[in-house]
Amino acid sequence: MGLLSTGLWAQLDRSTPPAAGPAPQINIGESQQFTLKNGLQVFVVEDHKLPMVSYSLTLNTGAVPEGEATGYVELVGDLMRAGTTSRSKAEIDEAVDFIGATLSPHSKGIYARSLTRHNSILLELMSDVLLNPVFPQEELDKIVKQMETAIQANKNEPSAIAGNIASVLRYGSTDPYGAVTSEASLARITTDHLKQYHQTYFCPNKGYLIIVGDITLKEAKKQAKKYFGKWQEAEVPQYENQSWPSYEGPVVAVANRDGANQSTLQVTHTVDLTPGHPDAIKASVMNQILGGGSFNARLFQNLREDKAFTYGAYSSLSTDERIGNFNASTQVRTSVSDSAVHEILYEMRRMQNEQVSEEDLELIKNMMTGSFSRSLEDPQTVARFALNIARYNLPADYYQTYLQKLAAVTAEDVQEMAKKYLRPEQCIIVAVGEADKISETLAPFAADGKVRRYDYYGEEVKGLQAVSGVSAADVIAAYAEALGGQEALDGIQDWRQTGTATVQGMALSVLTVQTNKNQVLVEMGMNGQVLSKQVFDGQRGKVVSPMGEQELEGPMLAEMKESSVLFPELNYLDEGYELELLGAEIIDGQNCYKLQVTKPSGSATTLYFKVGDGLKFREISSSPQGSATTSYREWTEVEGVLFPTRINQSMGPQSIDMHIEQIELNQQPDAELFAI
């Protein structure tokens, strides 16, 4: 018996994967449908395993042009739950929490979920929020401030910058798909925008209501008629623009991030591929082989496993009713930015020029088959399939025959899809990093040999410009004069500043006390309790946080000592500092002088001073923990000296908005305040 088994084992060829069998037969759960008189289409999927039921309303609004108030559509969902004609925000929140439910409005519908026994209460809340929102001004003001904070954080996030630039270059800045929300557009948003959008686009004849869970068709019909039957239908405008930017050849767009040690790259272009298109499944297989997320995908294998440029490289191919897109992305070391772009383009062309092996093809098809089959275990998938069939006018058996169509995809099909939907010869190459270091190496990829620079908003800007007749000393002198003049600055012995800091929507109190003896105290707290504290007595420093107390030493102590001076910029001309005027650059619409200082501790900081009034506009400091960007947004005069009173600081995904509310000068604080 043992010999027989050994003989059979020896005959197996494990270098070749087993041939794929026929596509498995699948059983997609049943969905039932009906339509209310007002045009609302309802899909019901019964699932009595758990006593839960969910209601998901989706509106087919299409693209919505927002004009100069870009961003208001995104706010609609948040503001819908902020109060109705009969309930305040607090009352809605309390009612939802009391029954342990979920109620999440969004700009194109609303999702709600609860235990079956609470569905009447849930539907009453859902229909009230859906049909009777009041969009209170005070809640709009809060959310606008939160979005402004998010923008400040995103300005320090390379993927967000690259995404904005890619969208603008793919679709155009005036198209809804390419418009970028800015602080200026947020400032133009009024409650009238939200009310008009809700009145215009929230119409039942453009809606699909999916009900999934412990419910019968009869009960669903009764609920839909009771809570949504009086919703009035209306004509909904459709945005018809189908014109996209065209390029004769590849274009290269770069955004600068001072201090970045890597580049965030995207290679992208539009794709004319609608949901349910006959090519959609074949094109998806092609993209999965190229870079769809598998460890075996070619971009991953090339850029990570073979070249060791990155931790990951991926691609996506998105369908859309108007226009889809292809996007390949990665993050690599600055020094290999051009090499990484070369390899991405190489793999795109290889998909076009070479047929994939049967082994690679079957591996991806098997993976996609497994993923599809597993998704059928979720009743929400059944409902989503029914919605897509109705919304995109797909064949009734589109999903029932999905695996057969997937199994039928050949290597020839994959190559055909690559030739049809990949456009390395007309792509948009976006790189976010040290622009001065990567621009020259990326220029050969552009059809015209030019690299264009863009800012966070996707607006083209000039790069660093040389300046003449101005020195670094002149810029610092102008800054001192802008603050109030050297005599006024010399008259300040100490200051005490109090205010608030907003972190992820949470408001904290801030206290800063500083003297001309290099003593510093910074406290942040909440409800009268100190959460963190930094102290420097002129020689020693410590940090106190919920994690414990740490006395500083080495580089951290040296950096604290350098920043303990009342006006540290005025010391940058002293011995031990290296100060260089790099040129002039437009940052967020402001023409600024760009200076770089290397401090005695060895840390480097990039500073931007406005050309017009001489005030500091932005500061970017680098440390082993990462880079931090501080923006000075408002200044206030106190006893003849200007102080920044609106400050934003971003480090990675975290953003802090500070508002200094009171500044007291020359109070002679007790030395015990700075005791270590």
- Amino acid code (one letter) for 35: T
Tell me what pLDDT residue 3 has: 32
> Residue 447: how many CA atoms within 13 Å on its side-chain side?
10
**276-280 mean pLDDT:** 95
CB neighbour list of residue 467: distance below 8 Å, 6 or more residues apart: 581, 583, 584, 593
Task: Give residue-wise pLDDT tens across range 340-365.
Answer: 999 999 999 999 999 999 999 999 99
Residue 504 has pLDDT above 80, yes or no: no
pLDDT-based confidence at residue 261 (cuts at 50, 70, 90): confident
Would you place residue 10 in the very low, low, confident or very high pLDDT band (cuts 50, 70, 90)? Answer: very low
pTM of the model: 0.84
pLDDT over 60 at 94, yes or no: yes
430 contact partners, CB below 8 Å, separation of at least 6: 162, 165, 166, 169, 253, 254, 255, 265, 266, 267, 268
Helices (H), 452-517: 472-483, 486-490
pLDDT of the residue at 6: 33
Q: How far is CA 489 from its chain centroid?
A: 41
Q: b/e string for 399-419 if b means 16 or more Cβ within 10 A?
A: beebbeebbebeeebbbbbbe
pLDDT grade for 9, boundaries at 50, 70 and 90: very low
Mean of pLDDT values over 541-563: 90
Alpha helices per DSSP H over 322-432: 337-353, 358-375, 379-391, 402-407, 411-421
Q: Are 279 and 273 in contact (CB under 8 A)?
A: yes
Q: Which of 237-246, 296-305, 627-636 has the highest mean pLDDT?
A: 296-305
Least confident of 43-47, 146-150, 311-315, 541-545: 146-150
Q: Which of 66, 344, 32, 65 is nearest to 190 (CA)?
A: 66
Residue 334: DSSP 8-state: G
Rounded mean pLDDT, 80-98: 97
- 18 pLDDT band (50/70/90 cuts)? low
Rg, the chain, Cα only = 30
Provide the token pair at 445.
């990829």
Note the pLDDT of residue 11. 43
pLDDT digits (tens, 9 = 90+) for 602-651: 888 999 999 999 999 999 987 656 678 899 999 999 999 999 999 998 88
- What are the structure tokens assigned to 4, written together? 């027989």
Note the pLDDT of residue 197: 98
The C-alpha atoms of residue 224 and residue 218 are separated, in whole angstroms, by: 10
> Taking a C-beta distance cutoff of 8 angstroms, is the pair 112, 122 a contact?
yes
* pLDDT at 7 > cutoff 60: no
Beta bridge partners of 432: 255, 264
CA neighbours closer than 13 Å in the CB half-sphere of residue 542: 11
pLDDT of 293: 77
* Number of residues that make up the chain: 676
3-state helix, strand, coil in the chain (%, to 5): 35, 30, 35
The distance from CA 43 to its chain's CA centroid, rounded to whole angstroms, is 32
pLDDT for the residue numbered 8: 33
Residue 26 and residue 376: Cα distance in Å, rounded? 9
Instruction: Note the helical H segments in 524-626.
Output: 554-563
Residue 5 pLDDT = 33
Average pLDDT in the chain: 92
Domains of the chain in sequence order: 32-154+174-228 (3.30.830.10), 251-380+392-461 (3.30.830.10), 472-674 (2.50.20.10)
Q: Does the pLDDT of residue 221 top 80, yes or no?
A: yes
Contacts for 615 with CB less than 8 Å, ≥ 6 apart? 479, 482, 483, 609, 632, 635, 642
Q: In whole angstroms, give the CA distance from residue 676 to residue 461.
A: 48
The proportion of the chain whose per-residue pLDDT surpasses 70, expressed as a percent, equals 95
